[in-house]
Structure 1
Amino acid sequence: MDSIMQTKKECFICEYKNNLESHHIFGGTANRKKSEKHGLKVWLCYEHHRGNDGVHLNRMVDLTLKAAGQKKFEEEHTREEFRAEFGKSWL
């Protein structure tokens, strides 16, 4: 997985190293492809991906990942470029 968010294969949240799943930070058909294009993906353990404390069921985890992804994107691009690509700002 090509990611600008991580260099190690471990859960982005808890650093667990087994049973990891790839997660596109910005979802939906169009934004998933854009996440792929820009490396805005992270490894998550099952609990932080699909579990009760996971990004798909916990809005705060989802918003935290989106803000982190946008912040990383903006290290090389402007906020206006981010908004043009993803439609809105999470910061």
Structure 2
Amino acid sequence: MTTTEEAGVGHNSDAHRVARDQLRSFVERIQRLEEEKQTLADDIKDVKGEAKAAGYDTKTLAEMLKLLKMDKDERSEREALRDTYASALGVFG
């Protein structure tokens, strides 16, 4: 028996077992979450398909979702910048 095995830090030590179990737990949790994420992504795709079938423009819907994620001040700033750029480029002129 080697010195590390005698000290309880060998391949089968409690610390090794705990670390292995913890690692396995992390990996399994991540796998479950990745599966849930894919399920949610599929659900979102289905809802977008329903919206499109009902006649809604999905690009505009995506823009609205992006705007809704912003707070009021951020939306106002974005709108002001967009208007400034559009004016400079003659988009609304």
| Higher RCO by CA contacts (8 Å cutoff, separation 6 or greater) | 1
TM-score, reference length from structure 2: 0.27
TM-score using structure 1 length: 0.27
Identify the structure with the greater strand proportion. Answer: 1
Q: Which has the higher helix share?
A: 2
